[in-house]
């Protein structure tokens, strides 16, 4: 069976606007500029697109799983249903321990097994170091996005998902 290549994506701060607080209300869930275009470009180049997101507000009782699912539905609709799967960890260490929650890697491991993903040919795009730590645990290369990180924080950095997609395609081009 063929191994698939994948781009794992954090949600808040990569796909939708990071509010600095929990994003669970539909009216506050805003897909970032150029995200649909970046996802389409990655998809055209043969990548599976899988979201891996911590949603600790569920464990804290701030919102419900149905709120998370409604935001994910809005995300899919805004991005032409290009996302192949969305994994979320509704846990918080003060309330419920879980190996799914990043920086642990269980969400990645489940996706890799289910979709026959080649970790060595895959990428993670995240906006926090815990996103990158989780990816490293399973051998997935990563790109740090966002302007809040100083230059040289991580070997591969980009302003946003569009720039990250360009970097991924540049790094994976086969020589002619």
CA distances from 134 to 10, 53, 65, 170 (A): 11, 11, 23, 23
- Give the bridge partners for 51, in sequence order: 9, 86
Does residue 127 carry a catalytic annotation? no
Token digits for 60? 């804290």
The contacts of residue 12 (CB under 8 Å, 6+ apart) are 18, 19, 23, 53, 127
Sign of the CA dihedral with 55 first, then 60, 62, and 66 last: positive
Q: Which residues are designated catalytic?
A: 10, 12
């Amino acid at each position: 069976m063929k191994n698939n290549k994948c781009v794992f994506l954090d949600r808040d701060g990569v796909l939708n606007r990071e509010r600095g607080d929990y994003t669970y209300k539909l009216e506050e869930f805003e897909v970032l500029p150029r995200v649909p275009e970046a996802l389409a470009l990655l998809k055209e180049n043969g990548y599976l697109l899988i979201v891996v997101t911590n949603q600790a507000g569920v464990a804290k009782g701030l919102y419900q799983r149905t709120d998370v699912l409604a935001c994910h539905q809005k995300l899919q609709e805004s991005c032409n249903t290009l996302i192949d799967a969305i994994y979320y960890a509704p846990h918080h260490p003060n309330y419920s321990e879980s190996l799914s929650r990043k920086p642990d890697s269980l969400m990645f491991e489940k996706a890799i097994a289910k979709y026959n993903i080649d970790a060595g040919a895959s990428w993670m795009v995240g906006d926090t170091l815990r996103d990158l730590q989780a990816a490293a645990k399973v051998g997935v290369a990563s790109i740090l996005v966002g302007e809040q990180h100083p230059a040289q924080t991580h070997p591969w950095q980009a302003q946003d998902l569009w720039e990250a997609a360009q970097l991924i395609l540049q790094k994976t081009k086969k020589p002619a």
